[in-house]
């Protein structure tokens, strides 16, 4: 990474719009996005040593350990050192231990001139519950486009439960029930509070976007507070 590079840590629950904002940043600025889920799948497919450990943990019905995730992300960040693009961390760090590990990693001299910015997605639980309970995903593993069946949503598919992009069928995740979403949000908020408290003590730059607004407005607000406007 060059001295102009920045790392943006996106903090927000599932359904808060982190992925949508990331895609706009990638499209408009050419930034690089880390999605731990995608990176895990990539390592598994390529049968790397990390991939084998992740695959074993999943097949054993265990959670992938923080140490494995941290090692995987660190290797990915090292690969970006020569790039001049800014980096978006979507879904990482996921808890306090990972936040502390990232802070320690960035103390390395290679990252001395890299800026770390925390972006908090402010969105009420009710909005998240409505978004996730209406979410449907393309069943094609090579597509995975996400839609909303909410009335009046601009993200509704043109045909009922059919993907606009590849015409595969859409499905609703089994864990996108209202009760399950509420449970996930309760756990998420505990981790979020701990991470934001840590970053506040570290004196990190914490930006806040109002994620209930239309995506275009969220993007413009983000560019403004991140100093990215022309």
Q: Which of 11, 8, 50, 10 is nearest to 29 (CA)?
A: 8
Residue 104: pLDDT band (50, 70, 90) is very high
- Out of 3.40.1710.10, 3.40.50.300, 3.30.460.20, 3.40.50.1100, the CATH code matching 6-122+186-225 is 3.40.50.300
Q: How far apart are CA 213 and CA 191, in angstroms?
A: 24
Quickly list DSSP for 178-220: HHHHHHHHHHHHHHHHHHHHHHHHHT-EEEEEETTS-HHHHHH
Residue 60 CB contacts under 8 Å (≥ 6 apart), including other chains: none
pLDDT over 90 at 206, yes or no: yes
Q: What is the pLDDT of residues 114-149, one digit of tens each?
A: 889 999 999 999 999 999 999 999 999 888 888 999
Q: Which residue has the higher pLDDT, 226 or 152?
A: 226
Torsion 187-71-103-223 (CA) sign: negative
Indicate the domain borders of the chain: 6-122+186-225
pLDDT over 80 at 155, yes or no: yes
* 7 and 86 Cβ atoms separated by less than 8 Å: yes
- Tokens 């979403």 belong to which residue? 181
Task: Supply the pTM of this predicted model.
Answer: 0.85
Strand order in the sheet with 115-122: 32-35, 87-90, 6-11, 115-122, 205-210
Mean pLDDT within 20-48 = 90
pLDDT over 90 at 4, yes or no: no
Q: Which of 161, 16, 10, 162 is nearest to 89 (CA)?
A: 10
Torsion 102-104-109-114 (CA) sign: positive
pLDDT over 70 at 3, yes or no: no
């Amino acid at each position: 990474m060059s001295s102009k590079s920045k790392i943006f840590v996106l903090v927000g629950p599932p359904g808060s719009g982190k992925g949508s904002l990331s895609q706009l940043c990638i499209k408009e600025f050419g930034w690089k996005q880390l999605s731990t889920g995608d990176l895990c799948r990539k390592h598994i497919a390529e049968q790397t040593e990390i991939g084998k450990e992740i695959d074993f943990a999943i097949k054993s019905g265990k959670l992938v350990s923080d140490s494995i995730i941290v090692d995987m992300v660190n290797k990915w960040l090292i690969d970006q050192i020569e790039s001049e693009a800014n980096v978006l961390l979507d879904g990482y760090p996921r808890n306090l231990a990972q936040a502390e590990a990232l802070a320690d990693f960035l103390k390395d001299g290679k990252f001395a001139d890299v800026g770390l910015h925390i972006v908090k997605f402010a969105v009420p639980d009710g909005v998240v519950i409505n978004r996730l309970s209406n979410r449907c995903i393309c069943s094609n593993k090579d597509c995975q486009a996400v839609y909303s069946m909410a009335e009046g949503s601009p993200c509704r598919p043109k045909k009922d439960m059919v993907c606009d992009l590849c015409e595969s069928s859409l499905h609703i995740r089994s864990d996108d029930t209202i009760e399950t979403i509420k449970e996930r949000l309760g756990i998420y908020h505990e981790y979020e509070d701990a991470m934001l408290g840590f970053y506040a003590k570290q004196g990190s730059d914490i930006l806040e976007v109002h994620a209930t607004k239309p995506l275009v407005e969220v993007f413009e607000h983000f560019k403004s507070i991140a100093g990215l406007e022309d």
